[in-house]
Amino acid sequence: MPPSIIEVAQALELKLEPSAGELRCRCPNPEHIDENPSCYINPDKGVWYCQGCGAGGDAISLYVVAKSCSRQTAEDALDYLGGAHQAPLPFKMLNDDGPIDAAYTFCSIMKELGQRGDAVPPHLLILLQEENPVQNLRRFLENGNNDS
């Protein structure tokens, strides 16, 4: 089950304040300088809307706008975060970058490997268990799928 819009907003570290049955925060759109919080989240309907710039939508679009990524990338990251994927990602990967960024990084790297036609090698699983797995995965991809 994918995360709720509130879980996504919290993972994005949006400061949520109660406001007339909804939650108010600064707009997650990096192009909108929102000095006076103008974004409203309706947790019952699972939607959000910014009265300042007009952006809005569901939990996935909240992530898309905040991270400036594609809807498919957001769906992959949020599915992973919600437990839909059974990949061998250890909890310690969900550290410095935060849970969504770590899931986004992991999904992006795995997608890149698939697009290059690379099989996921067994030593990749070892990299996931070592210290700094996000950096290890990035280095793995940069080194062209070598064992070292």
Confidence of residue 113 (pLDDT cuts 50, 70, 90): low
Q: Which CATH number do you get for residue 31?
A: 3.90.580.10
- Per the structure, the complete domain to which residue 21 belongs is given by 1-68
Residue 13 within a domain: yes
- Residues 106 and 47 both lie in one domain: no
Q: What is the mean pLDDT of the chain?
A: 74
Question: 38-70, pLDDT tens digit by residue?
Answer: 999 999 999 999 999 999 999 989 988 988 888
- Residues 111 and 64 both lie in one domain: no
How many angstroms separate the CA atoms of 148 and 138, rounded? Answer: 13
Higher pLDDT, 88 or 80: 80
Are 84 and 2 contacting, i.e. CB atoms less than 8 angstroms apart?
Answer: yes
As for how many domains the chain has, the answer is 2
Which helix (H) or strand (E) segment holds residue 61: the answer is helix 59-67
- Residues 55 and 12 both lie in one domain: yes
Residue 78 within a domain: no
Question: 118-142, pLDDT tens digit by residue?
Answer: 555 666 656 665 666 667 766 776 6
